[in-house]
Structure 1
Amino acid sequence: MSPAPRKLGSDTVYPVGLGCMNLHHGYGPPTDEADAAALLHEALDLGYNFLDTATIYGFGRNETLIGKTLKARQGEFLQASKCVLLFDGKKRMIDARPDSIKTACEASLKRLQRETIDLYYMHRPDPKVPIEDSMGAMADLVKEGKIRMVGLSEMGEGLLRRAHAVHPVSAMQSEYSLLTRNPEIAVLDACRELGVTFVPFSPVGRGYLADNPPAPADYHEADMRRIFPRWTEPYWTQNQALLKQAQAIAGDLGCTMSQLAIAWTLAKDAACVPIPGTTSRQHLKDNFLAADLSLSSDVMAALDTLFQPEAVKGPRYSPAAQASVDTEQFAFELS
Structure 2
Amino acid sequence: MQDSRIWIKLIQTETFVADSPQNDEARKARLLSVDEHGAGQRLDNFLMREMKGVPRTRLYRALRKGEVRVNKGRAKADYRLKEGDTVRIPPLRVPAVGAPAVVPAHRLDALAKAVIYEDGDLLVVNKPSGLAVHGGSGISFGLIESLRQLRPDQAYLELVHRLDRDTSGLILLAKRAVILRELHRQLREKHIDKRYLALVEGKWPAASRLISAPLEKNVLQSGERMVRVTAEGKASMTEFSVLERLQGATLLEVRPITGRTHQIRVHARHAGHPLLGDEKYSNSVAEDLARRLGLKRLFLHAVSLRFTLQGSGKFDLHAPLDQLLENTLEKLRK
Q: Same fold (TM over 0.5)?
A: no
Q: Give the structure-2-normalised TM-score.
A: 0.27
User: Which structure has the highest helix share of the two?
Assistant: 1
Structure number, greater radius of gyration = 2
